[in-house]
Amino acid sequence: MARKKKETKEQARKIDTSNVVGLVGSTTEQAISETLELNYMPYAMSVIVSRAIPEIDGFKPSHRKLLYTMYKMGLLKGSRTKSANIVGAVMKLNPHGDAAIYETMVRLARGNETLLHPFVDSKGNFGKVYSRDMAYAAHRYTEAKLDPICAELFRDIDSDTVDMVDNYDGSMKEPVLLPTTYPNILVNPNLGIAVGMASNICSFNLREVCETAIALMENPDHDILQTMPGPDFSTGGELLFDENVTREIFATGRGSFKLRAKWRYLKEGNRIEVYEIPYTTTVEAIIDKVVDLNKGGKIREIVDIRDETDLHGLKLTIDLKRGADPEKLMQRLMRMTSLQDSFGCNFNILIGATPRVMGIREILEEWTAWRTQCVMRRIYYQVQKKQDRLHLLKGLERILLDIDKAIRIIRETELESEVIPNLMIGFGIDEIQANYVAEIKLRNINKEYILKQTKAISELEKEIAELNSTLKSPKKLQNVIIAELKAVSDQFGQPRKTEIVYASVDMEPEEEEDDTPDYPVTLFVSREGYLKKITAQSLRMSGEQKFKEGDSLAFSVETTNKAEIIVFTDKFQCYKTRLSEFDDSKASLLGDYLPQKLSFEPEERVVQVILPGDYKGFVLFFYANGKAAKVPLSAYETKTNRKKLTGAYCDKSPLRSVIALNTDEQVAVYTTDGRATVFSTAQLLPKTTRSTQGVNVMSLKKKAELSHAVRLEESGITNPSRYRTRTLPNAGALLKPEDAPDKQISFDI
């Protein structure tokens, strides 16, 4: 019995249940690629297309389903109803549970202050976008209806302007998109996180967006910055305007805007009041950070900080110590807390079920094309309705020729089913017209009534002709859209909430007092990119330096804890940091792995690490194609604490070596076919830009490349005169065995 139990357990261990497919109790093996294709990809596409990424009307499906349900409930013109009623009705279109639906409503509500132009007119506690801890009330306590601006979302939705599809159970129809009469995609912010991609669209001022859309329709070369200088956020604050950054974001759809809080100093009470904060932060986050800084001794001028937000709006009060300078304090707080923050833009939008990252111009062009289709569909619908009406009146006009004949035909027809055919035969009209005539009330069968009805024929024909003329004219269609945009701008436009601060009036941040301790250290960098910073005392007590298997020392140098380093990589980038950012290490440890410490991109590797010092010298770049560039170190000096510089050097050829120089020196350059040349760096003229291609220093043989370059004293060459040259480029001389660089240490590229 015990043996049987043991065998059963052994068999159970052998069963692989990691890929169970089919009926319970059956198992089949499935390749991971097939699992991803059959199971994961449909899920990922569903999240991208049907949940997280907004479409050209500016809504995600959850928003659209909620607003459309409220519209069908008559909440555009009616009075408010309990939010619980709305949530229950929305579940007919969006079966994701009441919590998810209500959270969507909260974000769209006026009380939450998330949107510049809220879609839900709310009553009750809906929380605040600028508060992390202020919870919204349950849906049984709050009330809501649609805001008046929603009339622009649903205008002519019943005139076949957009496609309607079945809901999830086929019991009712819902719109694929909402026919918004203005570019809502840019007016209200939208954040969505999908699978493998995301979207983060900032809000812009409604009036500015409408003006820009009109200007681009009238002049495709219009400068967008002239009418739309930057985003506008519901929480106000200040936008630090940088024209180059703004133009790049407007062109590519990616980048970040800098925002900062608005504040005032009150002499009475010696306090600062912050009354508008960046859209990306919360009051609690700011308070927590200030408290941490105060406890750490980095901010000593503050006595107390508290949240005094009330019905009049946000207010964060900071009590100061006597003699504290409010201007300098706020400059430091802007730098050290989220009182100054960035909004990262990623204008990723679904266009025809395909996610696309677009700039402002492209978004407005796509919206204009889509809105043009909506207007054309509306006009087609109107033409069809008018033609149907005209067709009926044409039949009525035939009856006017002989009313008595029509009465006689109806009176003399014995069977009801033959009335319509007899009218069709008697007046030469079709069945639809005959039905219309037959349904006219007896009191209306007189010449006066029929003449009144048929007078509309000429008017209808004129209206149909005008509508058809509009359909055939792109300019007239454009004028229709422009007129709608102007009407929306005049009715719902409002002044900017976020003030734009230009460089001319922007306050320069005060240099932060550097209290980082400074002491001598020795820097060790390995070939694979490990960095160790060891103090003099620890170095005296240390034994042999430890490296990862297969790794070795690239170089070591004596410096200080405050020294700055620049790490060049093989992705044409460099990373700047200070040694004080690294913990003191020991010889027995591997040290910090630079790609991980500095957040390298995938598969990005270290090429060289240099210490720029006071940025007075030069940096030499040697490329595989035999070229070298001499760039001033000052090209890498930045006023702000930028951690990463793109375009750090030329991307036309792989980088082989980087050498930092304080003064001109002799360098030895090697090729892959066993040649070398020695020359003075004074022969290279400095270039002004980092991305310069440089000049040829080696005339390479076929299939040969420049392999690396080092200072002459580090080369091990015993007879430099054999390889020295005064003219560049040079083919170099064949290396003798005693001059071979087998003892050289460099980074593997």
Catalytic residues: 141
Which residues in 408-425 are b (16+ Cβ under 10 Å) and which e? ebbeeeeeeeebbebbbe
Distance CA 371, CA 229 (A): 24
Distance CA 616, CA 626 (A): 26
The alpha-helical segments, DSSP class H, found in 507-557 are 536-541
The alpha-helical segments, DSSP class H, found in 109-257 are 184-187, 206-218, 224-227, 243-252
Q: Report which residue type is found at 274.
A: V
Distance CA 518, CA 703 (A): 49
Structure tokens at 397: 């006009």
* Torsion sign over Cα 413, 414, 420, 421: negative
SS3 readout for 378-446: HHHHHHHHHHHHHHHHHHHHHHHCCHHHHHHHHHHCCCHHHHHHHHHHHHCCCHHHHHHHHCCCHHHCC
Count of residues in the chain:
749
Lateral strand order in the sheet of 706-711? 706-711, 666-671, 675-680, 733-734
10 Å CB burial of residue 459 (0-12, 13-18, 19+) is exposed
Q: Measured between alpha carbons, how far apart are the two ends of the chain, in Å?
A: 65
Strand ranges, E, within 17-91: 81-82
- Bridge partners (DSSP) of residue 680 are 666
Omega cis (within 30) before 729: yes
Structure tokens at 234: 């519901």
Structure tokens at 722: 């054999």
In angstroms, the Cα distances linking 654 to 554, 570, 732 are: 20, 8, 21
Structure tokens at 490: 């005049």
